[in-house]
Amino acid sequence: MKFYFRQFLILTVLIIGMVSVTETHVSAAENDSKPEWRGAATSVVITPDEPMWMSGYAARTKPSEGKVHDLYAKLLILEDTRGQKVVIITTDLIGITRALRDPIAARLESEFNIPSAALLMNASHTHCGPELREDKATRRGLGGDRGAEARQYTKMLVEKLLKAIEATLPRLEPVELKYASARAGFAMNRRLPTPKGVINSPYPEGPVDQRVPVLIVERPDRSLVAALFGYACHNTTLSFYQFCGDYAGYAQEYLEDAHPGMVALFMMGCGGDQNPYPRRSLDLAKQHGRALSNAVEVALSVKQPREIHGPLGVAMEEVELEFATPPSREELLERRETGNKYEQSHAVRLLDQLEERGGIQTSYAFPLQVIQFGNDLTLAAICGETVVDYSLRLQQELKTSTGNSSDQKPVVWVAGYSNHVFGYLPSLRVLKEGGYEGNRAMIYTSYPGPFADSVEQRVVSKIHELTNQARKTTQQK
Is 302 part of any domain? Answer: yes
Average pLDDT of the residues of the chain: 91
- Rounded to an integer, the average pLDDT of 221-250 is 98
The answer to whether the bond into 278 is cis (omega within 30° of 0) is yes
Q: Which domain holds residue 260?
A: 37-310+367-425
| Same structural domain, 170 and 61 | yes
Do the domain assignments include residue 151? yes
* Cα gap 412→414, rounded to integer Å: 7
Q: 384 and 297 in one domain?
A: yes
Q: Are residues 336 and 411 in the same domain?
A: no
Higher per-residue pLDDT: 32 or 34: 34
Q: How far apart are CA 297 and CA 225, in angstroms?
A: 15
User: Residue 143's pLDDT is what?
Assistant: 57
The structural domain count of the chain equals 2
Confidence bin at 78 (pLDDT 50/70/90): very high
Cβ–Cβ < 8 Å for 87, 172: no
Least confident of 134-138, 217-221, 284-288: 134-138
- Asked whether residue 353 falls in the same domain as residue 231, the answer is no
Note whether 271 and 351 are same-domain residues: no
Q: Which pLDDT value is given to residue 475? A: 86
Model pLDDT for residues 139-168, shown as the tens digit of each residue: 655 556 888 899 999 999 999 999 999 999
Is 31 domain-assigned?
no
Between 406 and 26, the higher pLDDT residue = 406
Say yes or no to pLDDT of 409 above 80.
yes
Is residue 272 located within the same domain as residue 414? yes
- The answer to whether the beta carbons of residues 353 and 360 sit under 8 Å apart is yes
Residues 127 and 225 in one domain: yes
pLDDT score, position 10? 38
170 and 76 belong to one structural domain: yes
* Contact criterion met (CB below 8 Å) for 324 and 450: yes
State yes or no: pLDDT of 1 exceeds 80.
no
Looking at the fold, whether 169 and 276 belong to one and the same domain comes out as: yes
Whether residue 384 contacts residue 416, with contact meaning beta carbons closer than 8 Å, is answered with: yes
Work out the pLDDT band at 135, boundaries 50, 70, 90.
confident
What's residue 42's pLDDT? 98
Q: Return the pLDDT at 27.
A: 33
Percent of the chain predicted with pLDDT > 90: 83
Residue 32 has pLDDT above 50, yes or no: no
pLDDT of residue 159: 98
The answer to the question of residue 89 being in a domain is: yes
Alpha-carbon distance of 82 to 68, in angstroms, equals: 43
Between CA 201 and CA 203 the distance in angstroms is 6
pLDDT confidence band for 19 (50 / 70 / 90)? very low
Closest CA to 422 of 366, 381, 371, 468: 366
- Whether residues 192 and 331 share a domain: the answer is no
Tell me the percentage of the chain whose pLDDT exceeds 70: 90
pLDDT in tens, 321-331: 999 999 999 99
181 within a domain of the structure (yes/no): yes
Residue 443 lies in a domain: no
CB atoms within 10 A of CB 135: 13
Spell out the residues 6+ positions from residue 390 whose beta carbon is closer than 8 angstroms to its own.
270, 382, 414, 416, 425, 427, 456, 459, 460
- Chain centroid, CA 101 distance in Å: 13
Structural Rg of the chain based on CA atoms: 26
Identify the pLDDT of residue 403.
53
Which residues make beta-bridge pairs with 130? 54
Query: How high is the pLDDT of residue 242?
Result: 98
If asked whether residues 382 and 357 sit together in one domain, one would say no
Least confident of 28-42, 52-66, 146-160, 176-190: 28-42
- The mean per-residue pLDDT over the stretch 347-373 comes to 94
Distance CA 449, CA 335 (A): 14
pLDDT at 76: 99
143 against 457, higher pLDDT: 457
In a domain, 127, yes or no: yes
Task: Give the model's pLDDT for residue 107.
Answer: 98
Phi, then psi, of 226 in degrees rounded to 5: -160, 160
Per-residue pLDDT for 340 more than 90? no
Q: Indicate if the pLDDT at residue 83 is higher than 70.
A: yes
Is 95 among the domain residues?
yes
| CB contact at 8 A, 210 and 183 | yes
Q: With 50 as the cut, is the pLDDT of residue 435 above it?
A: yes
Do residues 45 and 132 share a domain?
yes
